[in-house]
Amino acid sequence: MIDLRLQIDPLPISEPIVVRLQDEPAACETEHDAILVERDGARLEYDYNGFSLGVHQRENESFAGDVILAFPGQRTAHRLIRSASPHNTFLVTEQCDQLCMMCSQPPKKLHADLFSQFAVAATLAPPNAMIGLSGGEPLLHKGRLFEMIEIVASLRPDIRFHILSNGQHLSADDVPRLVSIGTERILWGIPLYAADGAVHDQIVGKDGAFEKVQSGLAILMKAGASVELRTVAMRQNKDRLAELADFLFTRLSYIDVWAIMQMERIGYGRMNWSTLFHDSSTDFSGIAKAIDVSTARGLSVALYNFPLCSVPTPYRHYALSTISDWKRKYLEICDKCGSRAACGGFFEWYSHNEGFAALGTI
């Protein structure tokens, strides 16, 4: 697991700041760049506009081009952008209006508005980067979210965003703004867990959520947005996935891809693991039927967070490597696997004692 926090020497600042770390003076292009001036063992000293910024290194790791967020008086900084990685996500809020059974990021009541800092960080990202925006529920702060994206779009038209949202806080008034921002700039990751509203609402812990998400999806369709529909496969919906495939074909065929996902064993997912986790290595039938129904009708489908050996061979080409590098691991059984390079592996917090029972046997 890659730690996204860096130990730093506290800075004499009164507001959070965003800094891009650079090894060479020629790479410094903005006032937000800090240049490496000295190495003292594991401590790297940077010159940041005349101030000394000390960053403590782990195992000779390179920080060149990385973007960090530092707070007043704190000895740790958040590593927002790792320049060598395609997996960079901003947690824009921890507030949410749902209580999903398997939520990996349980909501909190307080919100720290760091959209201005996130905007700066995005403008410092490598060329053509896609940056994830997640929560909580980002659209609870829709105005500030859109302002941030508009700022970045004006300064860095090459940057794209992948927004994970329940899609329930969009209105018809947002369509012109979404079109103005550029629908090619945003991929929306929207969850839908069943074609039955009662089942979906039970999973997300919110009455009326099923109707609201359909309304939000209709608005995204009107704006011409790109949509990745997300469905976590659990015991509660595993036998309803083919029914959901029918629903998507008849009602939501405009989506770009339907992502069927495995659970993440953290947060509420860990608390409820024994009652939610569906072992797809021992029973892939419901997922297979959903894939067959979808592909027969021309709907693009993918499997997220499934280790290849947990998927029957005929369906393995649907299993993409989607687990972010910073929270991915491999097991001992993976060491001699010839498919490891193409496999997304396991979440860092996966426990084999409570996980897939039939890896590599299907």
- Cβ-proximal residues to 161 (8 Å cutoff; 6+ apart), any chain: 130, 131, 132, 133, 149, 152, 185, 186, 187
CA distance 306 to 294: 18
- The average pLDDT across 151-172 equals 97
Looking up tokens 């903005």 gives 30
**What is the average pLDDT score of the chain?**
96
Residue range 295-334, pLDDT digits in tens: 999 999 999 999 999 999 999 999 999 999 999 999 999 9
**pLDDT tens digit string along 237-252?**
999 999 999 999 999 9
Residue type (1 letter), 33: D
Work out the average pLDDT over 248-258.
96
Residue 161 contacts residue 131 (beta carbons within 8 Å): yes
The whole-number pLDDT of residue 60 equals 81
pLDDT at 105: 94
Q: Is the pLDDT of residue 189 over 90?
A: yes
Side chain identity at residue 211, one-letter code: E
Let me know: does 186 contact 122? Beta carbons within 8 Å: no
Strand, coil or helix: what is 124? coil
pLDDT over 70 at 361, yes or no: no
Give mean pLDDT, residues 157-174: 97
pLDDT above 70 covers a percentage of the chain that reads 99
Q: pLDDT tens-digit profile of 71-116?
A: 999 999 999 999 999 999 999 999 999 999 999 999 999 999 999 9
Would you state the pLDDT for residue 362? 57
When pLDDT is averaged across residues 206-232 and rounded to a whole number, the result is: 97
Ordered alpha helix ranges (H), 156-284: 175-181, 197-204, 209-223, 241-251, 268-271, 273-276
Task: Please give the domain boundaries of the chain with CATH numbers for all domains.
Answer: 5-81 (no CATH), 88-354 (3.20.20.70)
